[in-house]
Chains A and B, each alone.
Chain A
Amino acid sequence: MLILTCPYCGVACDETELHPGGEAHLKRFGPDASDEDFEGYLFQRKNPRGVHFERWRHAYGCGKWFHAARHTVTLEVFGTYPAQVFEPPEKIRAAILAKLPDWETGA
Chain B
Amino acid sequence: MSDPLIRIEDASPMGMVTLRAELNDGKAASALAFSGLEIPAPHQVTGTPEKGVLWMSPDELMIMTLPDASDAMVATLNEAFEGTHSLAVNVSDARSAFRLKGRDALVREVLAKLTPADMRPASLPVGRLRRTRLAQVPAAFWFTGDGEAMLICFRSVGGYVFDLLSKVAEEGTEVGYF
A16 interface residue (CB < 8 Å to B): yes
- CB <8 Å contact, B131 and A16: no
Within the complex, the shortest CB–CB distance from A11 to chain B, in Å, comes to 8
A64 nearest in chain B by CB position: B57
B130 nearest in chain A by CB position: A11
Per-residue interface assignment for chain B, residues 122 to 139, with 1 indicating a CB less than 8 Å from any chain A CB and 0 otherwise: 000000001111000010
Interface residues of A (CB under 8 A from B): 8-12, 14, 16-17, 59-64
Task: Return chain B residues, CB-CB under 8 Å to A63.
Answer: 57
Within the complex, the shortest CB–CB distance from B1 to chain A, in Å, comes to 36
- CB <8 Å contact, A60 and B132: yes
- CB <8 Å contact, A60 and B58: no
Within the complex, the shortest CB–CB distance from A46 to chain B, in Å, comes to 28
Q: Which of A10, A14, A17, A59 contacts B43 (CB 8 A)?
A: A10
Known: A9-B42, A60-B132, A60-B138. A14 touches B116 (CB 8 A): yes
Q: In whole angstroms, what is the CA distance A3 to B99 when docked?
A: 29
Q: In whole angstroms, what is the CA distance A10 to B42 when docked?
A: 9
Chain B interface, >50% SS class: strand
Q: In whole angstroms, what is the CA distance A47 to B108 when docked?
A: 40
- CB <8 Å contact, A60 and B133: yes
Task: Return chain A residues, CB-CB under 8 Å to B43.
Answer: 9-11
Q: Which of B57, B132, B133, B138 contacts A8 (CB 8 A)?
A: B57
Task: Return chain A residues, CB-CB under 8 Å to B133.
Answer: 14, 16-17, 60
- CB <8 Å contact, A17 and B118: no
Known: A9-B43, A17-B116. A62 touches B138 (CB 8 A): no
Q: In whole angstroms, what is the CA distance A17 to B132 when docked?
A: 7
A8 nearest in chain B by CB position: B58
Q: Which 8 A-B pairs have the closest CB atoms?
A: A62-B57, A14-B116, A60-B133, A61-B131, A60-B138, A17-B133, A8-B58, A60-B132
Considering the complex, which residues of chain B in the window 58-94 have a beta carbon less than 8 Å from any beta carbon of chain A?
58, 60
Q: In whole angstroms, what is the CA distance A27 to B82 when docked?
A: 38
A10 nearest in chain B by CB position: B42
Task: Return chain A residues, CB-CB under 8 Å to B56.
Answer: 62
Q: Which of B58, B118, B131 contacts A12 (CB 8 A)?
A: B118
